[in-house]
Structure 1
Amino acid sequence: MRRLLDVPAPAKLNLFLHITGRRADGYHLLQSIFMLVDWCDHLHFERRADGAISREDLTPGHLPTEDLSVRAARALQQATGCAHGVHIGLEKRLPAEAGMGGGSSDAATTLLALNRLWGLGLKRSQLAAIGLQLGADVPFFIGGRNAWVEGVGEQLTPVALSPTRFLVVKPPTGASTQRIFGSPELKRDTKTATIQGFAANDSREGAVIDLQKVLAFGHNDLQPVAQALCPDVGHCIRWLDSHGLQGRMTGSGTAVFAQLPQAVDLTDAPGDWMVRECGNMDAHPLLDWCTD
């Protein structure tokens, strides 16, 4: 095998994001549900015999030379001593600074794809350990399941969610994650919840989550600070509200989402917004590319 083409890297939405505390080292403790959606970047991989790692932007933008897909390939080489290289073609469809995990998903897809392309045979836990060095969200995408998330994002419990459609809106402006988490106005003491409070059964592995209950209960603690830093977040939420949809921010970016119970006329959305209808996914498309 020399090539893997059109390999997806799906985005995620945070159904809620609660900050429940802060550790002595400054890292924030959180609770969330990470949900995979069918809005994806696409990557193409061609094995190189010379050990070099190169990347081509198939949708030219402003990607850094050492983006997360390149860094993931280098990290896998270093961890395994692999002599192979790779040429990566990246079709960047997910917006930057959206809070949807686009870069982390690209890194996870790169690790999963190169594990196969280079014939390394690493297990999921080994890839996740390498991925964690690249970003806190990378192990979630390698895990491949929607998850109840705790700790600083490293504690993942797979959950099942019913099929649902969502509308995602991303204004052109972004917000600094560092400024949001560093703000003295950020609420850091939201009461902790339990997975059993939302599950239709008490099994931890594969618990079935009541999506309506989650959306009615949860919120994003980062949203008030982000709206103060980036008023466009509030504009997006008000636009969704004008269409009868309850919006909230996902992650620490400026994308806003809402459950979509019916078709919505989107023609009045500002022309510089990205507006996308998405569906949630049961599992990552590459789930079977790696063993546990």
Structure 2
Amino acid sequence: MKSLLNCPAPAKLNLFLHVNGRRADGYHLLQSVFQIIDRSDTLHFSLRDDQELHRTNDIEGVPAEQDLVIRAARILQAEVLRRTAAMPPGVNITVDKILPMGGGLGGGSSDAATTFMALNKLWNAGLTREELMALALPLGADVPFFIFGETGFAEGVGEDLQPVAAPDCWYVVIEPGVACPTGQIFTSEHLTRNTPPVKMSDFSSYHANRQDLRQFGKNDLQQVACRLFPQVAEAVEWLGAYGDARMTGSGACVFVAVHSEEQADAVLAKVPAAWTGWKAKALKRHPIIAKL
């Protein structure tokens, strides 16, 4: 196999996100449910005749050497060398990017996870899902989730994952036109860091047999993002007319769950022109799994 083309790197939504405390090393203790949705970046991988790793296209604001895609490829290349004493061939990587940066959708992390999974196949590395997740953790807690590849109840710094059922629904997502720097949100003096821990069964029982799509819990980062970025607050308020709207991740994107694609289309028809709005379907599993 010389190439793997049209590899999806889907977005995620945080159906809730609680901050339960902070460790001595500064990392925050979190609880969340991550759900994959069917809006994706697309990556293409082609083997080279040398051992170099190249991103073939420019991405504004992301130099290739700082891109999580290249960093993920380097980590896996080094691991294959360590295990086999043979350096795998280089790769050309093209990233067709539609997910916004600083949107809370995990776009960069998802691109990195798809890189780990695609190159594991292309290089015949044979690493397990758990081994790839462990390699990916230094790049950020969201990356292991995308390798985990299914709706997950997350704890710790986000790396402790268990599968969980979540509503099978459609979402309307609004990009308010700003990027929320994760570090700025987490270091804010206004961030609540003492939300009491919940059990996974609390989330599951909340959604069991419910006819409405009100969300469990809250996003503790939302109040900080709304304070720093009024555009996020405006999007939450506007979308809240159509359901239980909230921010995903550390922002800035805002979403609401609806029962059908037709309902999603009806809301999208009313989104103010100043914002980018789109619809997405909840997915139970990462779409790359069927490809690999």
What TM-score results when the alignment is normalised by the length of structure 2?
0.90
Structure 1 stretches lacking a partner, 5+ long: 201-207
The equivalent residue for 1:91 is 96
> Aligned AA for 1:287?
I
The 8 Å contact of residues 76 and 111 in structure 1, kept in 2 or not, is answered as yes
Select between 103-112 and 170-179 the one with higher mean Cα deviation. 170-179
Question: 241, 244, 247: which is aligned to 1:246?
Answer: 244
Question: 96, 100, 125: which is aligned to 2:130?
Answer: 125
Q: CA deviation at 1:266?
A: 2.9
Identity value in percent: 46
Q: CA deviation at 1:145?
A: 1.1
Question: 164, 177, 181: which is aligned to 2:182?
Answer: 177
Give the number of the structure whose residues are more often helix, by fraction. 2
User: SS state of the match for residue 204, structure 2?
Assistant: coil
> Aligned AA for 1:92?
K
Q: CA deviation at 1:283?
A: 0.4
The equivalent residue for 2:281 is 279
Q: CA deviation at 1:184?
A: 1.4
Q: Separation in 2 of the partners of 1:283 and 1:111?
A: 17
The equivalent residue for 2:78 is 78
User: SS state of the match for residue 127, structure 1?
Assistant: helix
Q: Separation in 2 of the partners of 1:152 and 1:56?
A: 33
Q: 1:126-166: CA deviations, max 9, x gaps?
A: 11111112111111111111100111111101112242001
Q: Separation in 2 of the partners of 1:91 and 1:131?
A: 21
The equivalent residue for 2:112 is 107
Q: CA deviation at 1:247?
A: 1.0
Q: 1:72-119: CA deviations, max 9, x gaps?
A: 111111122133110001100111101111111100100100011111
The 8 Å contact of residues 15 and 215 in structure 2, kept in 1 or not, is answered as no
Q: Is 1:56 matched up with 2:61? A: no
> Aligned AA for 1:273?
W
User: Matched residue pairs, number?
Assistant: 281
Q: Separation in 2 of the partners of 1:232 and 1:144?
A: 31
Q: Separation in 2 of the partners of 1:235 and 1:85?
A: 46
Q: How does 1:190-201 map to 2 (within 5 A)?
A: 190-199=195-204
The equivalent residue for 1:145 is 150
> Aligned AA for 2:255?
F
Q: Separation in 1 of the partners of 2:43 and 2:220?
A: 33
Q: CA deviation at 1:255?
A: 0.4
> Aligned AA for 1:269?
V
Q: 1:177-206: CA deviations, max 9, x gaps?
A: 112111111111111111112325xxxxxx
Structure 2 stretches lacking a partner, 5+ long: 82-86
The 8 Å contact of residues 103 and 179 in structure 2, kept in 1 or not, is answered as yes
After superposition, the Cα gap between the structure-2 partners of 1:62 and 1:214, relative to the gap in structure 1 and judged at 3 Å, is same
Q: Separation in 2 of the partners of 1:163 and 1:146?
A: 11
Q: Separation in 1 of the partners of 2:275 and 2:121?
A: 37
> Aligned AA for 2:247?
M
Select between 274-283 and 212-221 the one with higher mean Cα deviation. 212-221
The equivalent residue for 2:44 is 44
After superposition, the Cα gap between the structure-2 partners of 1:5 and 1:219, relative to the gap in structure 1 and judged at 3 Å, is same
Select between 183-192 and 279-288 the one with higher mean Cα deviation. 279-288
After superposition, the Cα gap between the structure-2 partners of 1:111 and 1:219, relative to the gap in structure 1 and judged at 3 Å, is same
The equivalent residue for 1:203 is none
Q: How does 1:164-243 map to 2 (within 5 A)?
A: 164-199=169-204, 210=208, 215-242=214-241
